């Protein structure tokens, strides 16, 4: 059950906009929002969107006062050629859910089968009753393909059925009419540069205004009908096709749209599109569906998480995993943008969301996908080096806070560029990848270089003072406190970065001196530097308050006034929309988990007492105005045994978009929260941690659940974990025997066997069978 | 001597642009840059400017990311109707310094006589030799009047002389073609709305695009010539007049331009202009000159500063005082903008420069002018209250960091809005005014309200922590360190603000309870508040470092890395143009005096040892990238007996614009540095301080000077101070006997008498005669 997301069929505008995001289809390359093929009522707003991951233009960033190093331009993922549009006429009446009478209407996303559908019984204004079944998919196996299938069945008439299909190159990005950016060219970034009907294909090619990237759509249409007349018409910006089908019988229209772009297909993108169409020429829509199912069967066989006894949350986690799969870039040109391919929020940029919130779900289930995300960061390492130079540093690499292909695209540096922790976050994800996969070749080839360059950057930024290594003037994850000294999160993550850079250097020195020599030469590494990294790591200053016995968020955080959250009126949230940043910066108040997140990622740096005190302290000051917050508090609540809290935070996380909790899901899905949902389960309820010392778990089951199941890949093993109220069953499905730690005790999982650990009073007891 | 500024006559573009600023004429209402009436060579850049203080439009401020409370618009002083233009033809040849041969050329600003001139002997391409004498003035007595007088004397010919004069309403602000703001409507902000030739006057009226302010120019022209033909022509945007004068004799052309605007003259601004012209109808240019001289004789009789033995510095101080007089607004609509009326830099905005750098020179010599500056701040108190609300505070007033008529116009808040000290700076200037004038009515009427509202704001912003009052997340004067906690300057100035608010409250309570009741009602003051002010003042946290024995600039400044100024290449200055602000914020490095300025303004808060240690410490870290820095370091060098340094800093200050030290004088004069020049002498070499305890001086004479003289007004006295190498002569010219402190010893100045204090070995000895 709950493989099907049955979506709201209310025809009011807020629900339709919400459904557009929720019913997005995608495959990491291509994403299509859940718009109606025939459109809405004329008055309704729609964000009609088709996106290609990383396909972007550049727009100017304006500043009232522009200072040195402020980026001049911002990348922006574009809404590309529209191939969704199909109008249907029954006799002389145009089908519209906003006219006549909707006798029944169902709308589903099939997460196990990889398609979305609308099933409609409609009575036209003139009384003609018709059943319409719209199905659509974005193929997981042919990444360029978006297919639509429309079956029209007359119920009480034999009117002619006309399909009027368009492929339109005259598209714009969505800009609210009240948005001042409308005027500054943020909407229209694509020009149609070629338009043809050839080889039975509608061919449309667009070019971006600044980056000169090209996108093409090659569309093949067909009908299954008794008899029909086909016509096509090429306009300046669009190719239109009509099929007039004789009435009386059910008729079916299919539209196969193949998207190609210069980033992946080079200058021959139109030819590539045609070639892909040729390969698909005899494929039926049902065959595509079968391929989707195969792909997803494999995906879910590893990635599925089962929550027994809570349908809503079961839906939440499956929806999250499905959308993660749909959003994640699977080539080194792309990553996962903050809204996936479901909307234009955050301009399609990639943030730390990838490394800290989304990557773990892939890393532990589909490590090849995870690796691609790391390779994307490696591909932009040169940009990160250049950015460090612009900021005034002679060495090292500073990754951009937000970007698509590498250049820093953040326009407000205190909550953007200043988040230097992104470099340590990326380093952390490399280290986690290595710990999970033990991919030695990756370590030598990409990981060493990334760790060395980020470590060097910390040396540039920080300095020794009174025997401790300090990092000043940065912003941590909490954007309600910007530009501070010794942000705990940043410092501890930098420490980890520096330690591992040293460790990898020593390892290469011993075992791969040839590769090391190559790398030393490439990046001009001085032999003294690794010693500096180790020293900085050893002496890293980690702020701790002796009285509160917590880690201070930064040097000055605990000196500030406490924000009175209890007496802040509801309508003043999120605070950043109602208070000047300076005012927010002046208070102890958090947008999102900061120190608490550090305690999740690097729990061995502090005692459990400090971690608990810190959680208790910061929780009272956190607004969760960021969608990145609930899951972290939930995971740490699990860690600390705050079970009710853990469950409540999980609920907020798991259905953030499904219940439109932040009210802005229409602009796109909160992908980090989707990743956070998986983390909440596996690292929260499952208590899973990956460390140099191995794999550990601390599972427990929320009271009102009957059971929880998930699988993880780890060092060539596949482990199934089943948590019940009084026992946990580990099954080592693939791979050799593996020692793990369960609630602090060591066990060895035996290949092909179940290990059942029973709670009986004081102690756990293991049974292997 | 040195009443005459003989300006460069080099005809290269940089020198001409520089001279445009240096030869600006103004009277605080109207300012006209020193452009050539006939223009330059076609290729040359010119900032052709006529400005009315406070006459402005609004332009949009663009942000890549706009957060709550960021101002949407920025005020901008406008370049108004151009009446400078007069072309002169000798026969068929157009006079131009860029053609033919310049036989001699002199260019002067007469600071004692209030006019500028060009005296030229010119040989035309066809060999005609002519003497031309251009004179111009902006009247100190009729503020609306800008007059030009051109005498043309044939030397070897008897060609007809033609004057072609224009009043042009089609004007724009200056925007560099490379400036991205060009496109965003920053240049063209005025439309011509009325244009006529009537009553023998050219009448041009312009209206701003957004603010709907209007400006009008009424121009009367005349020639003195044997015979002539006059014609006029009204175009869409301009009125043109020609005078064809018979040759052979010297001829003189005069042009009287009267500027009026809706801020001062209401909707009948054109009629006002005509009326003012009517009053001037029979006035000759020489009569205007005589009135200028009278006005300036009076001005200099009080304000002049004599430096014997150094012509260059004598010129520097006179030029400074003259430009201050020309720039300062003399009605409550206006203040002194950062560039005076000499250019468009900083958009004609008013900053703290007024209170801290420029006001003292007026306060101690022309207190009525000083009072108007304070009244301007009082007039925008409502804006300051509103701004505090926008920032999230229920009470109090936050003055805008930069503004014309009150709204915050700063686009980069970390070095703008965040400089909350502006409110304390304004309070400080009110207190200084009161100490110097003992204007009780002002205290009751305006001062009490300003002090109360600013004091309340500090209570809103700060908080008690461990028994001390802290002020977090503000920026001090040094813009290389932004958004910090407990900036010493801000805290000590806020302390002074709070103390005096309490003091004034108690005073009103005792002596003017009626007025107090009125005020309490008006601003909703709770009777507990004054106690809070006093408590916050008493417990104000003033950061002090026990090891260095200095005041820390803020809580974290001394923890940061020191910038290596010595090894920073020259071309990397000013640093803000070469480093990202985050990088600058990360270091101990100063743009300008910060703690050292606080030690000047409130010297009794710290021991001399702390003040000395602080000076020594911060001086090594200060780039003086701001023009507000040298003078403060110079004054404090005097205070500490660092005589060589004091003299060197003074030289940098006194000739900052004359020698174009910052390279940007073309954009306008550095008015604060002009005020700082006066301060360097009177508070630096003279050591003058005004405190609640009275007037004190600590004069000394730089080695290579023969003498130094200045006058100050203080509590209805006029005191002349003459400093020589071995003695000081105080003359109490006006007013009753006055006790003063001289080098720490008390003396009484006797009415109408000289007090000569001689240095003889160890002790000073006084002789009264």
Task: With beta carbons under 8 A apart, name residues in chain B contacting A583.
Answer: 69, 391-393, 473
Q: A265-280: per-residue pLDDT in tens? A: 999 999 999 999 999 9
DSSP result, A152-176 = EEESS----EEEEEEEE--------
Q: How far apart are CA A216 and CA A78, in angstroms?
A: 13
Distance from C-alpha of A397 to C-alpha of B43, rounded to nearest angstrom:
45
User: What would the pLDDT profile of B599-623 be if each residue is shown by its tens digit?
Assistant: 999 999 999 999 999 999 999 999 9
In a domain, B342, yes or no: no
Q: Which of B62, B64, B76, B420 should be substituted to probe chain A, the one whose Cβ sees the most A Cβ atoms within 10 Å?
A: B64
Q: A720 lies in a domain?
A: yes
Check CB contact under 8 Å for A580 and B69: yes
**Average pLDDT value for residue range B497-525:** 97
Note if the bond before B227 is cis, omega within 30 degrees.
Answer: no
* Mean pLDDT, residues B430-448 taken together: 98
Contact check, Cβ <8 Å, B392/A583: yes
Nearest to A391 among B69, B180, B583 (CB): B583
d(CA B701, CA A272): 85
Is residue A112 within 8 A of residue A300, CB to CB? The reply is: yes
CB contact under 8 A, A465 and B559: yes
pLDDT of residue A33: 98
- Residue B466 makes CB contacts below 8 A (sequence gap 6+) with none
Question: A586–B473: do the CB atoms touch at under 8 Å?
Answer: yes
Residue A90 has pLDDT above 60, yes or no: yes
Distance, in angstroms, between B358 CA and closest chain A CA? 25
pLDDT at position A332 is 86
Is residue A332 situated within a structural domain?
no
Contact between A586 and B556 using a beta-carbon 8 Å cutoff: no
What does the alpha-carbon distance between residue A516 and residue A504 come to, in Å, rounded to a whole number? 10
- The single residue of B449, B479, B499, B606 carrying the catalytic annotation is B479
Of A63, A412, A582, the CB nearest to B391: A582
For residue A261, the number of C-alpha atoms closer than 13 Å in the C-beta half-sphere is 29
CB contact under 8 A, A580 and B411: no
| Interatomic CA distance for residues A239 and A671, integer angstroms | 34
As a whole number, mean pLDDT of residues A120-129 equals 97
CA dist A563 and A579 (Å) reads 12
Total beta-carbon pairs less than 8 A apart between chain A and chain B: 155
Q: Taking residues B284-296, what's their average pLDDT? A: 98
* pLDDT for residue A759: 78
Confidence of residue B764 (pLDDT cuts 50, 70, 90): low
Please, what is the angle between helix A643-654 and helix A311-327, to 10°?
50
pLDDT of residue B185: 65
How close A418 gets to chain B, by Cα (Å)?
7
pLDDT at A714 over 50: yes
Contact list in A for residue B560 (CB cut-off 8 A) is: 463, 472-473, 485
Average pLDDT over residues B83-92: 97
Q: What is the rounded CA–CA span in Å between residue A679 and residue A681?
A: 5
The answer to whether the Cβ–Cβ distance between B556 and A555 falls below 8 Å is yes
Task: Give A552's contacts (C-beta < 8 A, 6+ positions apart).
Answer: A488, A543, A544, A545, A558, A595
| Domain-located, residue B10 | yes
pLDDT of A185 strictly over 90: no
- The answer to whether residue B622 is domain-embedded is no
Residue B267 has pLDDT above 70, yes or no: yes
**What's the rounded Cα separation, in Å, for the pair A601 and A639?**
12
Phi-psi bin for B192: left (phi > 0), alpha (psi -120 to 50), beta?
beta
pLDDT in tens, A291-328: 999 999 999 999 999 999 999 999 999 999 999 999 99
Distance from the Cα of A538 to chain B's closest Cα (Å) equals: 19
Structure tokens at B115: 């006019």
Structural domain contains residue B467: no
Answer whether residue A413 shows pLDDT above 90. Answer: yes
Out of A69, A392, A579, the one facing B68 most closely (by C-beta) is: A579
Residues in chain A closer than 8 A to B390 (CB atoms): 580
In contact, B87 and B95? CB cutoff 8 Å: yes
Inter-CA distances, A468 with A438, A538, A545, B278, B559, Å = 33, 9, 16, 78, 11
Which residue shows structure tokens 């983390």? A679
Listed in sequence order, the residues at least 6 apart from A682 whose beta carbon sits closer than 8 Å to its beta carbon are: A305, A360, A361, A364, A688, A710, A712
- The reply, when asked if residue B160 is annotated as ligand binding, is no
B662/B657 Cα distance (integer angstroms): 8
Q: Is residue A557 included in any domain, yes or no?
A: no
Chain B residue numbers with beta carbons less than 8 Å from the beta carbon of A62 are 62-64, 180, 184
Q: Using omega within 30 degrees of 0 as the cis cutoff, is the peptide bond preceding A574 cis?
A: yes
pLDDT on residue A13: 93
Nearest to B139 by CA among B33, B28, B50: B28
Give per-residue pLDDT as tens, B168-194: 999 999 987 665 444 556 789 999 999
> Residue A657: is its pLDDT beyond 90?
yes
Question: Residues of A marked as binding?
Answer: 352-353, 591-592
State mean pLDDT over A670-689.
Answer: 98
pLDDT digits (tens, 9 = 90+) for B554-600: 999 999 999 999 999 999 999 999 999 999 999 999 999 999 999 99
Q: In angstroms, rounded to a whole number, what is the distance separating the alpha carbons of residues B195 and A706?
A: 86
User: Does B355 participate in catalysis according to the annotation?
Assistant: no
Mean pLDDT of chain B: 95
The verdict on a CB contact (< 8 Å) between B582 and A483 is: yes
pLDDT at A760: 64
pLDDT at A562 over 70: yes
Say whether A184 and B62 touch across the interface (CB within 8 A).
yes
Inter-chain residue contact A68 with B579, CB threshold 8 Å: yes
Kindly state whether residue A543 falls inside one of the protein's structural domains.
Answer: no
Last residue of a domain, one of B274, B299, B324: B299
Q: What is the CA radius of gyration of chain A?
A: 27
- To which H or E segment does residue A390 belong? helix A381-390
Binding residues of A for substrate: 352-353, 591-592
> How would you class B308 by CB atoms within 10 Å of its CB: exposed for 0-12, middle for 13-18, buried for 19 or more?
middle
Asked if the Cβ–Cβ distance from A582 to B473 is below 8 Å, we say: yes
d(C-alpha B725, C-alpha B713), whole Å: 24
The domain that holds A109 is classified in CATH as 2.70.98.40
Collapsed DSSP state (helix, strand, coil) of residue B153? strand
Residue B261 structure tokens: 């605007």
Boundary residue ending a domain (A299, A334, A363): A299
Give me the mean pLDDT over the B249-278 stretch: 97
Task: Report the residue from B66, B410, B577 with minimal CB separation from A68.
Answer: B577
Q: Per-residue pLDDT for B37 more than 60?
A: yes
Q: What is the mean pLDDT of chain A?
A: 95
* Most B CBs within 10 Å, among A417, A423, A473, to test the B interface: A473
Domains contained in chain A, number: 2
Q: Report residue B165 as tokens.
A: 């004069």
Q: Which pLDDT belongs to residue A178?
A: 62
Of B411, B470, B582, the CB nearest to A391: B582
Nearest CA-CA partner of B247 in B101, B103, B130, B105? B130
Residue where a domain stops, chosen among B299, B333, B357: B299
Which residues in chain B have their CB less than 8 angstroms from residue A576's CB?
67-68
Contact between residue B542 and residue B491 where contact means Cβ atoms under 8 Å apart: yes
Please determine, for residue A182, whether its predicted confidence score (pLDDT) is greater than 50: no
Which among A152, A82, A142, A158 has a CA at the least distance from the CA of A118?
Answer: A152
Of A416, A474, A582, the CB nearest to B418: A582
Token pair of A302 as six digits? 């590893």
**Structure confidence at residue A8 as a pLDDT band (50, 70, 90):** confident
A201-225 per-position pLDDT tens digit: 999 999 999 999 999 999 999 999 9
pLDDT at B8: 80
Tell me which residue in B392, B485, B580 faces A579 most closely, judged by beta carbons: B392
For A217-249, what is each residue's pLDDT tens digit? 999 999 999 999 999 999 999 999 999 999 899
Domain that holds residue A120: 7-299
The token duo for A110 is 């099939």
| Residue contact B482–A482, C-beta within 8 A | no
Looking at residue A447, its pLDDT comes to 98
In angstroms, what separates the C-alpha of A348 from chain B's closest C-alpha?
Answer: 16
Catalytic residue selected from A355, A479, A529, A619: A479
Annotated binding-site residue? B122: no
User: In whole angstroms, what is the distance from residue B320 CA to residue B305 CA?
Assistant: 10
* A559 chain-B contacts, CB cut-off 8 A: 465, 470, 472, 485, 555
Report the candidate in A438, A523, A429, A481 with the shortest Cα–Cα distance to residue A717: A438
Calpha distance B19→B10 (Å, rounded)? 10
């Amino acid at each position: 059950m709950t493989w099907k997301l049955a979506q709201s069929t209310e025809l009011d505008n807020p629900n339709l906009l919400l459904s557009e995001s929720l019913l997005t289809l995608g495959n990491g390359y291509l994403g299509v929002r859940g718009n109606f093929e025939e459109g809405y009522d004329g008055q309704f707003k729609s964000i009609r969107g088709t996106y290609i991951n990383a396909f972007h233009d550049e727009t100017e960033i304006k500043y009232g006062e522009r200072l040195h190093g402020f980026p001049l331009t911002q990348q922006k993922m574009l809404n590309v050629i529209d191939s969704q549009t199909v109008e249907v006429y029954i006799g002389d009446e145009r089908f519209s859910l906003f006219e006549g009478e909707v006798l029944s209407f169902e709308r589903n996303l099939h997460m196990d089968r990889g398609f979305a559908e609308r099933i409609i019984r409609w009575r036209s204004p003139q009384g003609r009753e018709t059943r319409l079944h719209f199905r659509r998919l974005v193929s997981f196996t042919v990444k360029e393909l978006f297919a639509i299938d429309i079956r029209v069945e007359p119920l009480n008439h034999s009117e002619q059925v006309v399909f009027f299909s368009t492929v339109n190159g005259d598209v714009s990005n969505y800009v609210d009419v009240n948005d001042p950016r409308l005027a500054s060219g943020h909407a229209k970034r694509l020009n149609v540069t070629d338009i043809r009907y050839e080889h039975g294909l509608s061919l449309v090619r667009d070019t971006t205004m600044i980056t000169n990237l090209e996108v093409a759509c090659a569309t093949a249409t067909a009908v299954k009908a008794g008899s029909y007349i086909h016509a096509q018409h090429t306009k300046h910006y669009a190719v239109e096709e009509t099929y007039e089908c004789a009435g009386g019988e059910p008729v079916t229209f299919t539209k196969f749209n193949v998207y190609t772009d210069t980033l992946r297909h080079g200058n021959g993108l139109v030819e590539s599109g045609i070639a892909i169409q040729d390969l698909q020429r005899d494929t039926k829509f049902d065959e595509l569906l079968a391929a989707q199912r195969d792909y997803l069967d494999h995906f879910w066989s590893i990635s599925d998480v089962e929550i027994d006894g809570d349908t809503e949350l079961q839906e939440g986690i499956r929806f999250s995993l499905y959308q993660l799969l749909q959003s994640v870039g699977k080539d080194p040109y792309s990553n996962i943008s903050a809204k996936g391919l479901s909307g234009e929020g955050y301009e399609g940029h990639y943030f730390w969301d990838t490394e800290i919130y989304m990557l773990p779900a892939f890393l532990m289930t589909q490590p090849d996908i995870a690796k691609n995300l790391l390779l994307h960061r490696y591909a932009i390492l040169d940009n990160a080096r250049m950015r460090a130079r612009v900021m005034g540093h002679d060495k090292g690499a500073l990754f951009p806070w937000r970007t698509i292909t590498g250049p820093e695209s953040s326009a407000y540096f205190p909550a953007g560029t200043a988040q230097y922790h992104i470099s340590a976050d990326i380093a952390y994800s490399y280290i986690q990848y290595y710990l999970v996969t033990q991919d030695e070749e990756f370590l030598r080839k990409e990981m060493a270089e990334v760790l060395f360059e980020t470590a060097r950057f910390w040396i540039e930024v920080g300095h020794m003072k009174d025997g401790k290594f300090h990092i000043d003037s940065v912003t941590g994850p909490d954007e309600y406190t910007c530009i501070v000294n010794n942000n705990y999160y940043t410092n501890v993550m930098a420490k980890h970065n520096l330690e591992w850079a040293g460790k990898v250097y020593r390892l290469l020195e011993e075992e791969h001196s040839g590769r090391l020599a190559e790398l030393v030469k490439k990046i001009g590494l001085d032999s003294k530097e690794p010693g500096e990294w180790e020293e900085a790591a050893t002496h890293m200053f980690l702020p701790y308050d002796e009285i509160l016995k917590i880690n201070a968020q930064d040097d000055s955080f605990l000196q500030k006034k406490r924000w009175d959250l209890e007496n802040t009126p509801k309508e003043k949230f999120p605070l950043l929309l109602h208070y000047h940043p300076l005012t927010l910066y002046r208070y102890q108040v958090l947008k999102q988990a900061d120190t608490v997140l550090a305690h999740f990622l690097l729990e061995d740096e502090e005692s459990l007492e400090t971690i608990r005190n810190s959680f208790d302290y910061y929780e009272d000051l956190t607004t969760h105005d960021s969608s990145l917050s609930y899951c972290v508090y939930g995971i740490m609540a699990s860690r600390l045994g705050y079970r009710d809290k853990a469950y409540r935070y999980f609920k907020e996380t798991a259905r953030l978009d499904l219940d439109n909790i932040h009210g802005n899901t229409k602009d796109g899905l909160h992908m980090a929260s989707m990743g956070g949902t998986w983390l909440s389960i596996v690292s929260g309820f499952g208590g899973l941690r990956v460390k140099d010392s191995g794999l550990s778990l601390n599972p427990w089951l929320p009271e009102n659940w009957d059971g929880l199941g998930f699988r993880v890949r780890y060092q060539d093993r596949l482990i199934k974990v089943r948590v019940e109220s009084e026992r946990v069953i580990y099954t080592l499905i693939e791979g050799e025997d593996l020692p793990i730690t369960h609630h602090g005790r060591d066990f060895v999982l035996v290949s092909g066997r179940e290990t059942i650990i029973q709670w009986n009073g004081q102690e756990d007891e293991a049974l292997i069978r």
